[in-house]
Amino acid sequence: MFDQEKFQRWSKMARKFHGQDFWSSIFNNSQAKEMMNSFSELLGEEKSFPRVDVYQTSHEFYVLMELPGVRKEDVLLQVVGDRLEIKGTVHNPYHGYQVHFKERFTGTFQRTVQLPDYVDHNQYSAKFVNGLLEIRLPRAGETPAKTLNID
């Protein structure tokens, strides 16, 4: 079983004695970067995927989510109280190819965005525009959970 706390202590100690280039001394640069990205994600040091911005006015919230290359069929949105839950899959467009260098995320994801207030899920809009999923959610009183469709 992976012990995250022990690994964090070990990783900090390795960086203390070997600097930020610890993994580079073991692997080539692209392997080291991929390894560090994997460990950072595992330790929760990276931001969650997808990246999200939430804006608000006095009567509604706007949620912008970076999902380039993702189809609406591969995303599930659900409003639960004052939370927006996002689940989906980012497919690898070159499945079966050998990876030379990779920074983009592929695979399944799940994220919950805490909203400052409850929303009216009967008056929402959700659509993809240039790789961004734009979701408009009017404020409301307490409401039951509902799955949202993307236009």
Is 78 part of a structural domain of the chain? yes
Distance of alpha carbon 68 from alpha carbon 88, whole angstroms: 13
User: Does 120 lie in the same domain as 80?
Assistant: yes
38, pLDDT greater than 70: no
pLDDT higher at 45 or 52: 52
User: Does 57 lie in the same domain as 82?
Assistant: yes
pTM above 0.75, yes or no: no
**Burial grade of 47 (CB within 10 A; 0-12, 13-18, 19 or more):** exposed
What's the domain count of the chain? 2
What pLDDT shows up at residue 95?
Answer: 84
Digit-coded pLDDT (tens) for 97-112: 988 888 888 899 999 9
13 falls in which pLDDT band (50, 70, 90)?
confident
User: Does 96 lie in the same domain as 33?
Assistant: no
Residue with tokens 């939370």: 83
Distance of alpha carbon 132 from alpha carbon 65, whole angstroms: 5
User: Does 98 lie in the same domain as 26?
Assistant: no
User: Does 73 lie in the same domain as 19?
Assistant: no
What pLDDT shows up at residue 46?
Answer: 47
Q: Which domain holds residue 28?
A: 4-42
